[in-house]
Copies of this chain bind each other. A is one copy, B any other.
C-alpha cells in the first residue's frame, strides 16, 4: 500500500507543520493560527489547501503512514536477519524520540482518539495495522528460521513490541533521563533471541 500523496509545495509545508504540531502538542493542541505562524501564511490560505481541520488531519496521518511504510520496505530489502530488522524498526521510534521528544503521530492521535473525527481514527488504525502486520511477518520468519524463539504467537509479540515502543516515547517525555524506546526494545528482544 504505497499510497501516493500529491500535494502542492504550499500544501506540503502546511502538512509538515501540522505533523510537527501533532507530534508536539496533539490534534487538540494546535490551531490553524499556529500553522499560520510556522509557514508564514494566513489562516484563510491554509483553508484554501485543506478545507477543514479534519481533512488536514487525515492527510497528515496518510503521509506519515506512507513514509513509514517506505521505511519498513527499506528495512526489508537492506537487512536480512529478523533480530536486526526488529532493531532497525525500533530505531525508527528512537530517532523520532531523540528529536526533541516528539511522539509518534499515531501514538498521539491514539491517545486523543475519543475526541477525533472517525475519518482520522480510521487512518490511525490503518497505521497500527500496517505496523502489526509487518512485525508479525518478521517475527514469524524469525521463529521459522530459529533466529528467534518464543512460545507466543507472532501477533501477540508484535502487539507487545509496538505497545512497548509507543509507551516508551510517552513515558520518556516525562522523565529526566529516560531509557528511550530502543533500549527498552532491546531489553525485551534479548529474551527472544537465540
Residues of chain A whose beta carbon lies under 8 Å from any beta carbon of chain B: 24-26, 28-29, 101, 103, 106-108, 110-115, 121, 124-125, 128, 152, 156-157, 159-160, 162-168, 170-175, 178-179, 183-184, 187-188, 191
A163 CA to B175 CA, complexed, in Å: 12
Given A171-B159, A187-B152, A191-B191, answer yes or no on A107-B114 (Cβ-Cβ < 8 Å): no
Closest 3 CB pairs of A and B: A167-B167, A163-B167, A25-B115
Q: Which of A101, A111, A164 has the most CB of B within 10 A?
A: A111
Instruction: Determine how many copies of this chain the complex contains.
Output: 2
Contacts of A167 in B (CB 8 A): 107, 162-168, 170
- Checking B121, B162, B178 against A159 with a beta-carbon cut-off of 8 angstroms, the contacting residue is B178
